[in-house]
Amino acid sequence: MSATAEEVTFFILAVPLLCAAVGVVISKNPVYAAMNLVATFIFLAGIYVLLVAHLIAFMQVLVYAGAVMVLFLFVIMLISLGDEHLVKERYRGMQLLGAAGAIGLAAVLSWAILDVARATPASLPPDFGTVKAVGRVLFTQYLLPFEATSLLLLAAIVGAVVVAKERI
């Protein structure tokens, strides 16, 4: 069985994606974790391109790798997180909870993968995934969650500034 170019490209993108995602989790420096997250977002956008979801890939790079990560790095630098603020102790309970969560996630993912394998593909309208269709749904059906998200991001920025402000 020979691998197609799509499969090879998928693995070329998926392996560094997983490595960068692990780097986000195990990195002790918050700036390095944020930069690994940028790499994760970019590799994920490449996988979206393989799925012929060009709009989502573009939005992934523009919104997440661009705007949101700039915001994260700004907040990290604003509150001056360094190695001295990191907790050096490991809590056994948190490790066990994390392991239980990982096992639960693996079980749910395996159930979902088996369920998808049995499902029949749905027929999609011809304009599915276009900018016009996404904009129509986003600004009609999902307008309230869209605006609530923007207010939540604004509150997070204000909260970060308040936390980082020096106490007088």
Tokens of 113: 């993968």
Give dist(CA 90, CA 88) in Å, integer. Answer: 7
pLDDT in the model for residue 119: 77
Tokens of 143: 């307008």
How does residue 2 score in pLDDT terms, banded at 50, 70 and 90? low
Closest CA to 86 of 43, 136, 30, 142: 30
Digit-coded pLDDT (tens) for 37-87 = 999 999 999 999 998 888 889 888 988 888 888 878 777 777 765 545 445
How does residue 144 score in pLDDT terms, banded at 50, 70 and 90? very high
pTM: 0.61
Digit-coded pLDDT (tens) for 88-125 = 455 677 778 888 999 999 999 899 888 877 877 778 78
Q: Which fold has domain 1-88?
A: Four Helix Bundle (Hemerythrin (Met), subunit A) (1.20.120)
pLDDT in the model for residue 3: 72
Residue ranges per structural domain of the chain = 1-88, 91-119, 127-168
